[in-house]
Structure 1
C-alpha cells in the first residue's frame, strides 16, 4: 500500500514539473517536446484509468505547420514559435495589440491549452472511428481540455486564457451569414473556415468562453466515463 501511495506521489510530482513551463512560449524544441510528451502520458493514464479496455496510444511530436496544433491518426502535432510562418505571427501580433502580447497568447494556447484539446480529438477518434471536422467535434475537444486542466488545478492559466479569449473575441467579426446558425455554418464549411485564422478564431474563442463559463459541467473523470455509455 505504501508503495502505491509513493508511486502516486512521484507521478503527481512528475506531472507538476512537466506542467511548470507549460502555457508559455517555448524557445527550446527539445524542452517543448519533452514536456508535451509527459503531459500526453498523464492524459493517457487518466483515460485508461476510467476506460480500462480502451486502446489509447498517442504520440506527441514537434511539427510546425500553418495548422499550428492538430491531431492526425495517432499523433498530436505541436508547434514551435520560432518555426511559425510570419503571416501567422502577424495574426497574433494584431489580435493581441503588440508583439510581446501576441507571443504570450501563442504560448497560452498553442504551447498550453490546446494539447489536451487535441488529445480530446484523439479520444473521440478512438471511440467513434474517423470523424469529420465539425462545430460539435471542436466543442467536445474544448470541453475535454478545460475539464482536464481543471483536474490538475491549472485555474490560474485557464483564467488567463479566458481573459485573452474574451479580449480577442470582442475584436473578431461574426462570419456566420444571416439565416444560419454557427453550428451549421462551421460544420458545412469546416475546411474553409479552419484555413482562415479570423474565422476559425471566432469559433474557437467563442467556444472556450462558453465552456469556461458553464457551471453545470461534471469533472473530467465523470465526463470521460459518460462518453462510453452513450
Structure 2
C-alpha cells in the first residue's frame, strides 16, 4: 500500500509539472486549453487593474483562440484573438525563422511575443475602444499607446526578465529588416497612411512593431502603469 501511494504521488507530481509548464506565459503553447485558460486569467487581472483606477468602466473584453496570419489582434467582436503555434501557416512560420535566425528561435520568438507580450497590448487597444472610440482607428500613435500600456503592465507584474528577453530579440530582428519608409517621410507618416497595406506584410509591419518596442523599452521617462493610465484617463476628461 505504501509503495502504491508513493507511485501515485510521483504520478501526480509529473502531471503537475506538465500542467505548470503548459501555463508558462511568454512561451510557445502546445495546449490550446492551457493557452486560453492562462490568457483569461491574465486578461481578468489586467481588467481588474483598470477597474481599480476607473471603477465605473464596464470593460468586458474576452479572449478567443483564432489563429490567422495576423497572429494576435483585437477584433470587432470585443475579443482578443490568440494564435496557437501548431495552427500558424507556413509562410508566417518562415518569417519568424528568417528574422529570428532559425526555426527554433522563430518558435521562441512566437512564444515571447504572440503567446506573451502582445496580450496586454491588444487589451490596450480594447481599452481605447471603450474610452476613446473616436480616436481608436488603427494608427501609428495607437500602436505606440498599446505598446506603452503593455510594457508598463508587464513591469507591474514583475516580468523584467521576460521583457529583457523580448528586447534583446527585438533588437536582433529589427537589425535584419529593411527600412520600408520612403525618404522624406517619417515612420509615423508612412505607417499612418499605409497601415492596412503594412499590416499585410510581416516584414514591413514587424519593422514598425519592433522599432516601437525597442523605443518604449528604452524610454526612461515613462511612469509606472497606474500613473500612466490615470494620466491617460485625465487627458480624456
Task: Give your verdict on TM over 0.5.
Answer: yes
Q: CA RMSD in A?
A: 1.4
Structure 1: gaps spanning 5 or more residues: 1-16
Question: In 2, distance between residues paired with 1:137 and 1:216?
Answer: 19
1:200 alignment counterpart: 205
What's the counterpart of residue 79 of structure 1?
A: 83
Q: CA deviation at 1:18?
A: 11
Q: Which runs of 5+ in 2 are unaligned?
A: 1-19
Shift of 1:19: 10
Contact 1:18–1:38 (Cα < 8 Å) also in 2: no
Output one character per residue of 1:95-133: Cα deviation in whole Å (capped at 9) or x when no partner.
Answer: 111111110000000000000000000011111115221
- Is contact 2:97-2:107 (8 Å) kept? yes
CA contact (8 A) 1:61 1:75 kept: yes
Aligned residue runs from structure 1 range 162-173, under 5 A: 162-173=167-178
Task: Tell me which of 96, 102, 105 is aligned to 2:100.
Answer: 96
How do 1:165-184 and structure 2 match up within 5 A? Answer: 165-184=170-189
Q: Which runs of 4+ in 1 moved over 6 A?
A: none
Contact 2:22 2:29 in 1 (8 A): no
Distance 1:138 1:219 in 2: 19
Distance in 2 of aligned mates of 1:25 and 1:229: 37
Deviations 1:180-201 (A, max 9, x none): 1100000000000011000000
Larger radius of gyration: 2
- The correspondence for 1:34, drawn from 12, 37, 54, is 37
> Structure 1: how far apart are the matches of 2:214 and 2:176?
14
TM-score, structure 2 as length reference: 0.88
